[in-house]
Amino acid sequence: RTAITATQVNRNVSIAPLHARGGDVTIQGVSKSFGPLKVLDDVSLSLSAGSVTVILGQSGSGKSTLLRSINHLERVDDGFIAIDGQLIGYRQEGETLYELKEMDILKRRVEIGMVFQNFNLFPHLSVLENIIEAPVTVRGVSREQAETEARELLARVGLADKAEAYPRQLSGGQQQRVAIARALALKPKVLLFDEPTSALDPELVGEVLSVIKELSSSGTTLIIVTHEIGFAREVADQVVFMEQGRILETGTPHKVFNRPDHPRTAEFLAKVL
């Protein structure tokens, strides 16, 4: 039996699961149009709890709309999305609509966190206040407990000393790590990242990717839109290539990057690699 090294011990502490269990995602036959433009076209995808999925595709292929649909920021026209077999809002099947009560929709929504390209921190709130705002107002956690948890999360993203700082005093990479801590504070089963490093100076990309990489073994299901192929190769269980609202290809990073089935995937990769 091999001895457990100190780094492994630390790692085991830091990767403690952030939520009870679950996080299977089912996306079934989802379509969405903006006027005449079909932005999602019969998208189906299954993600198992705790897995990491990277979504690739050109600008305009529907990646953000798909993430926003999972997070219920967009209403799909057809199909449905479920977490652990439970609808996240409604299910449209032709003319028939099954819809949850508003209270249940709000409860479901807390299970899904999102991190945006431009951080979207509240500029007038300190780092700590940014993180505790939702747990206190949405989940009814006491301020004291929310603060304790927020400080733990800040340590986890390497910003223990920035609790009292304001967003404008932080670099982009630090702001994005705060945004990740803020999303984690709601203990989501599923965490969505929409190009989390594309607004960052190149030298700050690594620190954000390493925080996401650390989360990849935390039990939270991660869905990440990114063009960082090296990161995807290392961290993703599944890579999805989208074009014109459709999923053209899914597979392991090894499969999609080394032997893509679809010529369009190969063309895209040739551009971003």
Name the site residues for ligand ADP (rule: CB under 6 A): 34, 37, 39, 57, 59-65
Instruction: State in angstroms the smallest separation of the CB of 65 from ligand ADP.
Output: 3
Binding mask 43-82 for Mg ion (x = CB under 5 A): --------------------xx------------------
Q: How far apart are CA 105 and CA 111, in angstroms?
A: 10
Query: Which entry of ligand ADP, Mg ion, none binds 60, CB below 5 to 8 A by partner kind?
Result: ligand ADP
Q: At what angle do helices 172-184 and 143-156 cross, to 10 degrees?
A: 130
DSSP letters, 249-267, are EEE-HHHHHHS-SSHHHHH
Q: At a CB cut-off of 8 Å and minimum separation 6, what does 181 contact?
A: 131, 150, 153, 154, 156, 157, 159
Closer to Mg ion by Cβ: residue 24 or 195:
195
Q: At what angle do helices 172-184 and 127-137 cross, to 10 degrees?
A: 20
Q: Which helix (H) or strand (E) holds 145?
A: helix 143-156
Q: In one letter, which amino acid is 27?
A: I
Degrees, nearest 5: CA angle 82-190-25: 30
Residues 154/132, Cβ–Cβ less than 8 Å: no
Query: Which entry of Mg ion, ligand ADP, none binds 61, CB below 5 to 8 A by partner kind?
Result: ligand ADP
Closer to ligand ADP by Cβ: residue 76 or 131:
76
Residues 268/241, Cβ–Cβ less than 8 Å: yes
Instruction: State in angstroms the smallest separation of the CB of 16 from ligand ADP.
Output: 32
Instruction: State in angstroms the smallest separation of the CB of 63 from Mg ion.
Output: 5
Query: Which entry of ligand ADP, Mg ion, none binds 97, CB below 5 to 8 A by partner kind?
Result: none
Query: Which entry of Mg ion, ligand ADP, none binds 123, CB below 5 to 8 A by partner kind?
Result: none
Query: Which entry of ligand ADP, Mg ion, none binds 39, CB below 5 to 8 A by partner kind?
Result: ligand ADP
Q: At a CB cut-off of 8 Å and minimum separation 6, what does 139 contact?
A: 110, 186
Instruction: State in angstroms the smallest separation of the CB of 40 from ligand ADP.
Output: 8
Closer to Mg ion by Cβ: residue 63 or 177:
63
Query: Which entry of Mg ion, ligand ADP, none binds 16, CB below 5 to 8 A by partner kind?
Result: none
In the complex, the residues that contact Mg ion under the rule CB under 5 A are 63-64
